[in-house]
Chains A and B, each alone.
Chain A
Amino acid sequence: NAGVTQTPKFQVLKTGQSMTLQCAQDMNHNSMYWYRQDPGMGLRLIYYSASEGTTDKGEVPNGYNVSRLNKREFSLRLESAAPSQTSVYFCASSATGTVLFAFGSGTRLTVV
């Protein structure tokens, strides 16, 4: 089992460009999450999907959109990247009724 797989691992964008971060899990988890990690601020929830077909905003959703494509895949889209979105992004998943998260290895995004 690969667990939670994120692509790409690194990305540099120019201000205003768009991109989609991909996440897939093979653990048959119902819930999936996108976090951003900034120095001194820990992990902050951007969006989550409690089950296939549903998505909800987290703490810091502005500037992002998500798609729960199917049970395995949950993508995060930046429509018009801004330097404030420079961060490390983590995808996570968990089984229904638990908060036992499995994290991906992260995507380091730099917006210049």
Chain B
Amino acid sequence: GENVEQHPSTLSVQEGDSAVIKCTYSDSASNYFPWYKQELGKGPQLIIDIRSNVGEKKDQRIAVTLNKTAKHFSLHITETQPEDSAVYFCAASNNNDMRFGAGTRLTVKP
């Protein structure tokens, strides 16, 4: 089955800096790659996603890139703000089989 690895496990940045979280996956059949943000005491919420026929997607300060050949994808957050502090999960999916990374705890220091 699919195996998703996520790095780093913790990330601390200064407000206004950029943050990058990287994931690799093992199953070349995976075709959908979402990113979730989980705030304390809440369930994960989808923040951005990318499909295998696209190399990059942007939504305001958030962007995701996908390299299918290397089987890795990354989340980029620019101009970070304290409210970006949360745990971020990547995932890779082939139809109904969704596998998650272990998560990255991002702390944005004011």
Contacts and interface: CB of A to CB of B under 8 A. Distances in A.
B41 A105 contact: yes
Contacts of A4: 43
A104 B45 CA distance: 9
Output the residue of A43, A44, A103 with the most chain B CB within 10 A: A43
B74 interface: no
A31 B100 contact: no
B51 to A, nearest CB: 10
DSSP class of B's interface residues: helix, strand, loop or mixed? strand
B89 A99 contact: no
Interface size range of chain A in the complex: 20 to 34
Given A40-B9, A99-B93, A99-B95, A104 B43 contact: yes
B86 interface: no
A100 B96 CA distance: 10
Interface of B: 1, 4, 6, 9, 32, 34, 36, 41-46, 49, 89, 93, 95-96, 98-103
30 contacts: A31-B96, A40-B103, A41-B102, A42-B4, A42-B100, A42-B102, A43-B44, A43-B89, A43-B100, A45-B98, A45-B99, A50-B96, A59-B1, A90-B43, A90-B44, A92-B43, A99-B32, A99-B34, A99-B93, A99-B95, A99-B98, A100-B46, A101-B34, A101-B46, A103-B43, A103-B45, A104-B43, A105-B41, A105-B43, A106-B42
